[in-house]
């Protein structure tokens, strides 16, 4: 029988008005990959924050037993000293510093007040090689892609002599190729004897790497499944997470009539804001009709977000050229405010950085893009603002005890609902949704999909950008495929398969034969 490396017993954690963890139990065996799954708000990240010392001993009830020893961590330094290292969903790297500097930040190599740079970069290169990165550790973090930055975080963890590595949504910002490479790296580490806990909403990844799966629901452990003793598939995991079977991941759309063209983009090009001679969107044309969901799919760096932001009041790019028509009329939108006034909304992929003010309550965030509707003579009517927030909380079934709750205290899925509420309150005709379900669980995804269906049923137009192929195919009426700043394919969703879409991308790179 394998040795139990970690045991968390009867962990209970309470925040004001909310019991986030209720007698949670977790056992992790040495040398295995243990997946922790559950809906947003189930308590997964809270449990890992207890383990890593972010929530210090005394702020929770229960015991942490690691390597046979009862541990009472007061800080992250305490847990890291035992070899427990957590990699959070939001990468903790400084873009303007080198890879080597980032890897040993707070863990510097040298004596007294002098950093030994030869030792720093020498050790950094050693750990980069271990994770399969060929870049020099002297390269700045800003000059490498997101996938490589994720590997830098893992190398950084290895440099702390990690024995138990916790990865929280490690592939949420990665394309399929980089995700697969990262998962294979985890399997390689397992062969070398490392123990890992992975938190992810991508259930296909859980099935691919996990030895055991613990399901957390509403702050309590529901079950632990051994993947070697029973056949585990995604449907079985979903049943544990939500307490029921979800027979169709993508709700059927009914009573929707596709109407006239609502938005048309013609020969649209966008130039990089810093490298002003570099074209990131190259002569793109597309349209979307009333009552239609148009999907845009592409690999990381294809130019999808740059396209969306440039349409939304030129909020991206040093220079934008092309024609934009709304309801058949050519229009020039020079700012996001002008875009909002023209009944256009853009739901950003970065809800925490650009979409919401995390330190402010739901009430404030809901009216943020349409403050004139809740104010009189420039003075905000807080009663009206409160009523609007409550209305959208109920309409989108946002889980929160009060609209006075700060958005930063909500789960990812509920933050996404507040972000959608903010833009729905502007009453747009066209919504551009950029990665609308990134980092949220399967139950919350289904609810977001239902909201999208309700929007098009009401005659709205939706442009949905997504890195998840099943989502694009399952939710779209038409799909545009984008690669290296250009559209390289268009097809009806009924004709689309993952193979057809990827073939468009490969052919545009010269990596496949034209069929």
Question: Is there a contact between 240 and 223 (Cβ–Cβ < 8 Å)?
Answer: yes
Sign of CA dihedral 184, 180, 165, 21: negative
Q: Cite the residue boundaries of each domain of the chain with CATH code 3.40.50.300.
A: 4-242, 248-343+429-515
CATH class of 248-343+429-515: alpha beta
Tens-place pLDDT, residues 106-124: 888 888 788 999 999 999 9
Residue 432: name the closest of 294, 270, 301, 258 by CA.
294
Four-point Cα dihedral 179, 184, 190, 196, nearest 10: 10
pTM: 0.69
- Angle at which helices 442-457 and 234-242 cross, to 10°: 90
Q: Which fold has domain 4-242?
A: Rossmann fold (3.40.50)
Q: Give pLDDT tens digits along the chain (515 positions).
A: 678 999 999 999 988 767 889 999 999 999 999 999 987 778 888 899 999 999 999 999 999 999 999 999 999 999 999 999 998 877 788 989 999 999 998 888 888 788 999 999 999 999 998 888 888 999 998 888 777 888 898 888 888 888 999 998 888 767 777 788 889 989 998 999 999 999 988 888 999 999 999 999 888 999 999 998 888 888 888 888 877 666 677 888 877 889 999 999 999 999 998 889 999 999 999 999 999 999 999 876 789 999 999 999 999 999 999 999 999 999 999 999 999 999 999 999 888 888 999 999 999 999 999 999 999 988 999 999 999 999 999 988 888 889 999 998 887 788 999 999 999 999 999 999 999 988 777 777 888 899 999 999 999 999 999 988 888 999 999 999 999 899 999 999 888 888 888 888 878 876 444 33
H or E element in which residue 345 lies:
strand 344-347
If one counts every other C-beta atom within 10 angstroms of the C-beta of residue 335, the result is: 12
DSSP 363: H
Tens-place pLDDT, residues 131-140: 888 889 999 9
Beta-strand pair 114-115/61-66: unpaired
If one counts every other C-beta atom within 10 angstroms of the C-beta of residue 457, the result is: 14
- From edge to edge, which strands make up the β-sheet containing 478-483? 344-347, 430-434, 461-466, 293-298, 478-483, 486-492
């Amino acid at each position: 029988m394998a040795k139990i490396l970690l045991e968390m017993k009867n962990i209970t954690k309470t925040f004001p008005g909310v019991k986030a963890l209720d007698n949670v139990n977790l056992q992790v065996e040495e040398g295995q990959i243990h997946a922790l799954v559950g809906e947003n708000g189930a308590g997964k990240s809270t449990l890992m924050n207890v383990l890593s010392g972010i929530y210090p001993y005394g702020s929770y009830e229960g015991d942490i037993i690691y390597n046979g020893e009862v541990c009472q961590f007061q800080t992250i330094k305490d847990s890291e000293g035992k070899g427990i290292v957590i990699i959070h969903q939001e990468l903790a790297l400084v873009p303007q510093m080198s890879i080597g500097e980032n890897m040993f930040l707070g863990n510097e190599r040298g004596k007294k007040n002098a950093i030994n740079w030869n030792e720093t970069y020498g050790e950094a290169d050693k750990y980069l090689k271990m994770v399969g990165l060929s870049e020099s550790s002297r390269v700045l973090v800003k000059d490498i892609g997101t996938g490589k930055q994720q590997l830098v975080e893992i190398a950084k963890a290895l440099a702390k002599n990690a024995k138990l590595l916790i990865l929280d949504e490690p592939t949420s910002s990665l394309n399929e190729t980089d995700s697969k490479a990262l998962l294979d790296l985890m399997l390689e580490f397992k062969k070398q004897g490392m123990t890992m806990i992975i938190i992810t909403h991508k259930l296909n990844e859980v099935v691919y790497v996990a030895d055991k799966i613990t399901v957390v629901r509403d702050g309590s452990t529901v079950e632990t499944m051994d993947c070697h003793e029973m056949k585990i598939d995604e449907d079985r995991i979903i049943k544990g997470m939500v307490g029921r079977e979800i027979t169709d991941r993508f709700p059927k759309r009914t009573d929707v009539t596709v109407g006239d063209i609502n938005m048309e983009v013609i020969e649209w090009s966008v130039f990089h804001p810093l490298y002003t001679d570099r074209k990131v969107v190259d002569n793109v044309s597309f349209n979307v009709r009333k009552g239609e969901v148009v999907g845009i799919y592409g690999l990381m760096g294809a130019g999808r977000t740059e396209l969306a932001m440039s349409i939304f009041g030129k909020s991206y790019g040093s220079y934008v050229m092309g024609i934009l028509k709304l309801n058949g009329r050519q229009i020039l939108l020079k700012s996001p405010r002008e875009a909002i006034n023209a009944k256009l909304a853009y739901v950003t992929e970065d809800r925490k950085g650009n979409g919401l003010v995390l330190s402010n309550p739901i009430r404030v965030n809901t009216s943020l893009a349409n403050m004139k509707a809740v104010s009189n003579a420039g003075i905000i009517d807080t009663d009206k603002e409160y009523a609007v927030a409550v209305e959208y909380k109920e309409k989108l079934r946002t889980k929160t005890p009060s609209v006075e709750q700060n958005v930063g205290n909500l789960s990812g899925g509920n933050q996404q609902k507040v972000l959608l509420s903010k833009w729905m309150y502007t009453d747009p005709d066209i919504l551009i949704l950029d990665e609308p379900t990134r980092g949220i669980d399967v139950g919350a995804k289904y609810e977001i999909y239902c909201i999208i269906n309700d929007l098009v049923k009401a005659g709205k137009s939706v442009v949905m950008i997504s890195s998840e192929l099943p989502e694009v195919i399952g939710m779209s009426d038409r799909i545009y495929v984008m690669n290296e700043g250009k559209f390289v394919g268009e097809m009806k969703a009924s004709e689309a398969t993952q193979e057809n879409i990827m073939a468009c991308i490969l052919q545009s790179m010269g990596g496949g034969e034209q069929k």
